Homo-oligomer: A and B are copies of this chain.
Amino acid sequence: MSESLPPEPPPFAPFERLRSEQIYHSRWCGLRRDIVRLPSGSEQEYHVFEITDAVVVLPVLADGRVAMVGQYRYPHGKTHWELPAGRMNPGETPREAAARELLEETGLRAGKLSALPGFYPTNGISAHFAHAFLAEDCAVVAEPAPEDSEQLFRRFFTRAEIAALFDAGRLADAFAALPVAYWLRRSGP
């Protein structure tokens, strides 16, 4: 269907950065306030949240089941189903980070790791990018070994269960829902 693939939109001229103030910086994240010149000629402040890029992995076992983790998230206080995911460590490639997060959070190792479309979760405020992977032929090689700040509960789901969770709007974490959506499209009706 490549004949129906529309072109990219006409690119706009970038805003000119006139000044930049680093409001905060730490090993976890940073916050920057830039003063930019808009196409109208006026100046405006623009906040940019800085955070290292992330990876997310959709793990499929040899029997076709998918591993997800019930995970507690401090910012909103809820526990819900997610895919293994995390930020890349310094020096890591996205693929290395994906294999590490998969092992840490689920105890799985993939027979085959291939790219799914990545995404900008919040590109109005951050250049933060998520590299997504499909991990196939996964096998349990260890118990999950999450970091001290992570609370995880591993569970295996059939494709029908994953589709039911998605269709019911129960995958409220975008890092989980979007790779699941790509996988559902690619793995049949």
Contact = CB atoms under 8 A, between A and B. Distances in A.
Contact of A149 (B46, B74, B81, B148): B46
A161 to B, nearest CB: 5
Number of copies: 2
Interface size class of A (residues with CB under 8 A): 35 or more
A76 B8 contact: no
Contacts of A45: 28
A139 interface: no
Contact of A123 (B12, B75, B155): B75
Interface stretch (A89-97, A103-111, A113-121): A113-121
A28 to B, nearest CB: 5
A149 to B, nearest CB: 6
Contacts of A85: 124
Given A151-B39, A184-B185, A72 B118 contact: no
Contacts of A170: 5, 8
Given A10-B70, A75-B125, 9 more contacts: A1-B167, A4-B161, A5-B165, A9-B70, A10-B153, A29-B31, A73-B120, A73-B124, A178-B178
| 10 A-B pairs with least C-beta separation | A9-B70, A117-B169, A181-B181, A12-B72, A121-B121, A12-B151, A76-B127, A75-B127, A119-B174, A5-B164
Interface of A: 1-2, 4-6, 8-12, 14-15, 23-24, 26, 28-29, 31, 34, 36, 38-40, 42, 44-49, 51, 69-81, 85, 116-130, 148-149, 151, 153, 155, 157-158, 160-161, 163-175, 177-178, 181-182, 184-186, 189
